[in-house]
């Protein structure tokens, strides 16, 4: 009806097996956590943002706020860190990086490939990188 969106706040998140946050939780094997966590915390935010971008662009002063976490601090091997911080990083490359993490976790080789041992942390690191990429692509936000 209004044809624009002035602000979008993305705060989607899922975190498995952390009793300090949620009390007693049933155990979900690590290899099964990666897909759900990355789909929710990274892709969920990406999809909502992409869907809302036309409405944000129509606003005179749009704002995009992505709620991340200190758990998303940059960790892992030098290769992983450089991939997340590459100046030329774009959404397709970042999404490919997130898919690589999921595949490596599901294959049980994520540690050997230099990833940190946290699905939540990597998903939030991806979200932080996504925020940086979008800030570069969408100057008005």
* pLDDT per position as a tens digit, 86-135: 999 999 999 999 999 999 999 999 999 999 999 999 999 999 999 999 99
Taking each continuous run of H as one helix and of E as one strand, the counts in the chain are: 6, 2
Query: What is the chain's length?
Result: 141
C-alpha–C-alpha distance, residues 133 and 98, integer Å:
14
Instruction: Indicate the pTM of the whole model.
Output: 0.89
Query: What is the tens place of the pLDDT at every residue in 17-63?
Result: 654 455 555 667 788 889 999 999 999 999 999 999 999 999 999 99
> Which entry of 2, 22, 42, 120 is annotated as an active-site residue?
120
pLDDT at 18: 53
C-alpha–C-alpha distance, residues 124 and 73, integer Å:
8
Q: Does residue 120 have an active-site annotation?
A: yes
Q: Which CATH architecture has domain 7-137?
A: 3-Layer(aba) Sandwich (3.40)
């Amino acid at each position: 009806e209004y044809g624009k969106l002035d602000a979008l706040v993305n705060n989607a998140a899922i975190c498995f097996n952390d009793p300090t946050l949620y009390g007693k939780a049933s155990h979900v094997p690590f290899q099964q956590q990666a897909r759900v966590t990355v789909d929710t915390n990274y892709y969920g935010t990406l999809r909502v943002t992409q869907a809302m971008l036309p409405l944000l662009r129509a606003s005179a002063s749009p704002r995009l706020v992505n709620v991340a976490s200190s758990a998303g601090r940059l960790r892992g091997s030098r290769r992983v860190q450089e991939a997340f911080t590459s100046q030329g990083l774009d959404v397709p490359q970042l999404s490919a990086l997130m898919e690589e993490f999921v595949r490596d976790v599901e294959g049980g080789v994520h540690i050997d490939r230099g990833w940190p041992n946290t699905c939540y942390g990597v998903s939030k690191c991806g979200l932080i990188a996504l925020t940086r990429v979008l800030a570069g692509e969408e100057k008005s936000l």
